[in-house]
Amino acid sequence: KEKHKILHRLLQNST
Amino acid sequence: SHLLLTEPAPLAANQDNSTNDSSLRILLTLCDLLNRELLVLIGWAKQIPGFSGLLLVDQMSLLQSGWMEALLVGVAWRSQGAGGDELVFAGNLRLDEAQCRATGLADLYEALRHLMAKYRAMKLSPEEVVTLKAMALANSDADPVDCPDSVQRFQDGLHEALQDYESSRREQRRAGRLLMTLPLLRQTADRAVQAFLRLHRHHRVPIHKLLLEMLDAKA
């Protein structure tokens, strides 16, 4: 998951 | 109608001025555009009915597999209206065959023209375009998927919407015909991914972090 941290963060943002 | 409402407005390209090399300038402009389109695409995905209910890992898998297909549906659709032989990445970023060849995107050009010809012959409606885009994401064959049942329900919802829409137009065969265009879309997206990876790895074209992360996920 560390490799895909930007996508992970963007999906977690609620908006 | 929900997909039509959530369809994002097309982005404009920000012309790169950092180099005198005109081919590199086009590529940098294109990569910046794609990077911003990806950001918008991720926001858009969350608004497709059923997507946000998926496990976070599955949302990631679907996007990592299907992002280029979803973006290319947009490019093919925008290029339909344009006469001639241009690929319309944005209203202010139209590339013809010669420009694509000069920038190392000849292969992508050829593949996208093939896809566009198919869509053009079918005379897609906006409703069909937005549904196809969502289906490309839902049907991206991500592997592994942690909760296949939820992904299946997500796909079923979109399939049902497409069938309802085509029934309302009394076009019984249309949904099937549209689904039969998905393999060509997959093929085109694979070639696009390979083209950008090649540019980055062999020609050292700098690529923004998000776009690179998504390309690497498909490498």
**Which DSSP category does B19 fall into?**
-
Q: Does B146 touch chain A (CB under 8 A)?
A: no
Question: Do B63 and A3 count as a contact with CB atoms less than 8 A apart?
Answer: no
Best A4, A9, A14 residue to mutate vs chain B (most B CBs within 10 Å): A4
CA neighbor of B65 nearest in space, from B218, B212, B196 = B218
Q: What is the mean pLDDT of chain B?
A: 94
Q: Which residues in chain A touch residue B216, judged by CB atoms under 8 angstroms apart?
A: 3
**Per-residue confidence band for B112, with pLDDT thresholds at 50, 70 and 90:** very high
Is residue B115 within 8 Å of residue B188, measured between CB atoms?
yes
Q: Which residues of B touch A12 (CB under 8 A)?
A: 56
Nearest CA to CA, how far is A6 from chain B (Å)? 6
- Mean pLDDT, residues B47-60 taken together: 95
pLDDT, tens only, B153-208:
999 999 999 999 999 999 989 999 999 999 999 999 999 999 999 999 988 899 99
Joined together, the tokens standing for residue B150 give 């939820």
Q: For B22-67, give the DSSP string.
A: HHHHHHHHHHHHHHHHHHHHHHHHHHSTTTTTS-HHHHHHHHHHHH
Cβ-based contacts of B44 with chain A (< 8 Å): none
Mean pLDDT calculated for residue range B83-108: 92
Residue B40, chain A, CB below 8 Å: the answer is no
Q: In which band, very low, low, confident or very high, does the pLDDT at B85 lie, cut at 50, 70 and 90?
A: confident
B37: pLDDT strictly greater than 90: yes
Show residues of chain A in contact with B63, CB under 8 Å.
7, 11
**Are A4 and B217 in contact (CB < 8 Å)?**
yes
First-to-final CA distance of chain B:
35
pLDDT value of position B113: 93
pLDDT in tens, A1-15: 456 789 999 999 864
* Residue pair B31/B207 in contact by the 8 Å Cβ criterion: yes
